[in-house]
Amino acid sequence: MRILWIDPGTTTIWFAILDKDGMNNYIVDYWIFSTTPKMELSVKLLEIWMDMKDIIEKYKPDIVSIEKLFFQTNLKTWIDVAHARWVIMYECIRANVKIVEYTPLQVKKAITWHGKCNKLQLQNAIKMIFKMDEIPKPDDAADAIWLAYMWSLNSNFIMNRWML
């Protein structure tokens, strides 16, 4: 099974691809897509849509795990990112790829059981789980990898429970 994880944004979008083989997970790739700086939102959304189309065609994910939005203080940024999420989700639906969503708090709870961890703890967890020599760079790449891995863990739980 191939899992594509996306941390949506309008200027920078984080991606990670994991392959799941039974109980084993393998990092295929992780990267950033950046839109053209200082362009209108409509142009950025078109760039995001074209990249999503290319990514889905190239990697053929079975499922997409996308980070849910949570409201911060800047409403304009929140609304713009919501537009980017819609474009990403539209392309997944169009390509018939299942979508699951997680909040940042759900990700942190999966790591620490109480939801209070910092970015360095998240990065070190990814480094240990995947036996990497160093923390994934850029720093937010660990977020992308963790969210894909988190769905993988949840799917093991769901499958194991179903089999009982």
* Candidates 51, 67, 91, 143; catalytic one: 67
Maximum Cα interatomic distance, the chain, rounded to a whole number of Å: 54
The per-residue b/e assignment along 86-125, b for 16 or more CB within 10 angstroms, e otherwise, is: ebbbebbeeeebeebebeeeebbbbbeeeeebeeeebbeb
Say whether 67 is catalytic: yes
Respond yes or no on whether the N-terminal peptide bond of residue 136 is cis (omega within 30° of 0).
Answer: no
* Candidates 47, 91, 140, 143; catalytic one: 140
Q: Give percent helix, percent strand, percent coil of the chain, each to the nearest 5.
A: 50, 25, 25
Q: How far apart (Å, rounded) are the C-alpha atoms in residues 90 and 106? A: 24
Q: How far apart (Å, rounded) are the C-alpha atoms in residues 94 and 76? A: 27
* Candidates 7, 47, 91, 143; catalytic one: 7
Say whether 47 is catalytic: no
Say whether 140 is catalytic: yes
Given its phi and psi angles, is residue 114 left (phi above 0), alpha (psi -120 to 50 degrees) or beta?
alpha
Catalytic residues: 7, 67, 140
